[in-house]
């Protein structure tokens, strides 16, 4: 079992839809949880950053962490064609500077 | 634009060759990270330098090496290249040692033929 699992998609939704992106993980030591957006031919860009459990909201984006289920989610409200990209989850433990472990990414297309 | 500059953008080379990828971090950033992104493995951490010293090591092959220079730019050297080394190589940088606060460059696409 890989440490971080993420459905690769592709996921295609109409403009204005609510998008739900998810990752599951196996390492209970993970405490930092991040979502990155990666446009084609670009580097990953940090969207949301959560420590431990709970929700965090930033504009149209909401990140949720459920440590009991080892499950994290990113919701995008009122999705726009400009949200079309690959979304990567990443996580790491709390000790020192342990490396980030990334999911393989979900490709999202928002159709106008 | 993240402020992290990577050169070259594209590189095509033959098996067995050696290449050097270059990264200039954002102004003021002391940490540099190298990542490899391939279709089958996803984005994988290779190595981190902080202010010239190696800070953390990931799944970096022995054929690969890196260094950070006094002006804080970094180079990733890949030698005895194999077809499987074809991938996107990203550099990221952060002010401090925390990899959760790093900004990524646009990557170097390496193709080994």
Alpha-carbon distance of B109 to B23, in angstroms, equals: 13
Alpha-carbon distance of A7 to A71, in angstroms, equals: 13
What is the Rg, in whole angstroms, of the alpha carbon atoms belonging to chain A? Answer: 14
- Distances from the Cα of A13 to the Cα of A45, B6, B13, B16, angstroms: 22, 34, 39, 44
B23 contact residues in A (CB cutoff 8 A): none
A100 contact residues in B (CB cutoff 8 A): 45, 99-100
Share of chain B above pLDDT 90, in %: 87
A46 contact residues in B (CB cutoff 8 A): 102-103
Query: Is residue B34 less than 8 Å (CB to CB) from chain A?
Result: no
pLDDT tier at A103, thresholds 50, 70, 90: very high
pLDDT tier at A54, thresholds 50, 70, 90: confident
**Is the pLDDT score of B105 beyond 70?**
yes
Alpha-carbon distance of A33 to B66, in angstroms, equals: 27
Percent of chain B that is helix, strand, coil (3-state, to 5) = 5, 55, 40
CA closest to B109 among chain A residues: A41
- The answer to whether the CB of B60 falls within 8 A of the CB of A99 is no
**Is the pLDDT score of A46 beyond 90?**
yes
Q: What is the structure's pLDDT at A9? A: 86
Intra-chain end-to-end CA distance of chain B, in Å: 31
Whether residue B42 and residue A46 make contact (CB cut-off 8 A), yes or no, is no
The answer for residues whose C-beta is within 8 angstroms of residue A14's C-beta and 6 or more apart is: A110, A111
Number of residues written out for chain B: 113
Query: Is residue B103 less than 8 Å (CB to CB) from chain A?
Result: yes
- Distances from the Cα of A42 to the Cα of A29, B70, B75, angstroms: 30, 27, 20
Alpha-carbon distance of B86 to B100, in angstroms, equals: 26
A44 contact residues in B (CB cutoff 8 A): 43, 90, 104
pLDDT tier at A96, thresholds 50, 70, 90: low
Whether residue B98 and residue A97 make contact (CB cut-off 8 A), yes or no, is yes
Q: What is the pLDDT of residues B1-54, one digit of tens each?
A: 889 999 999 999 999 999 999 999 999 999 999 999 998 889 999 999 999 999
**Is the pLDDT score of A1 beyond 70?**
no
- The answer to whether the CB of B103 falls within 8 A of the CB of B5 is no
Share of chain B above pLDDT 70, in %: 100
Q: How many helices (H) and strands (E) does chain A have?
A: 0, 11
Alpha-carbon distance of B56 to B10, in angstroms, equals: 27
Mean per-residue pLDDT over chain B, rounded:
95
Distance from CA of B14 to the nearest CA of A (A): 23
């Amino acid at each position: 079992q890989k440490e971080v699992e993420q459905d690769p998609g592709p996921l295609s939704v109409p403009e204005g839809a609510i998008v739900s992106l998810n990752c599951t993980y196996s390492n209970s030591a993970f405490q930092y949880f991040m979502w990155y957006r990666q446009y084609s031919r670009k580097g990953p860009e940090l969207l949301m950053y959560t420590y431990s459990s709970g929700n965090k909201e930033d504009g149209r984006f909401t990140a949720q962490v459920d440590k009991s289920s080892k499950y994290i989610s990113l919701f995008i409200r009122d999705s726009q064609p400009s949200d079309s990209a690959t979304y990567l989850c990443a996580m790491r433990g709390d000790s020192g500077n342990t490396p980030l472990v990334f999911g393989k990414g979900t490709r999202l297309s928002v159709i106008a | 634009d993240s402020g992290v500059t990577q050169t070259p953008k594209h590189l095509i080379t033959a098996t067995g060759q050696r290449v050097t990828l270059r990264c200039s971090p954002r102004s003021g950033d002391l940490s540099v990270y190298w990542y490899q992104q391939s279709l089958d493995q996803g984005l994988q951490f290779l190595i981190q330098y902080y202010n010239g010293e190696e800070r953390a090591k990931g799944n970096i092959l022995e054929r690969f090496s890196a260094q950070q220079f006094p002006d804080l730019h970094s180079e990733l050297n890949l030698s005895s290249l194999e077809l499987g080394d074809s991938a996107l190589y990203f550099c990221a940088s952060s002010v401090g040692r925390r990899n959760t606060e790093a900004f990524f460059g646009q990557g170097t696409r390496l193709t080994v033929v």
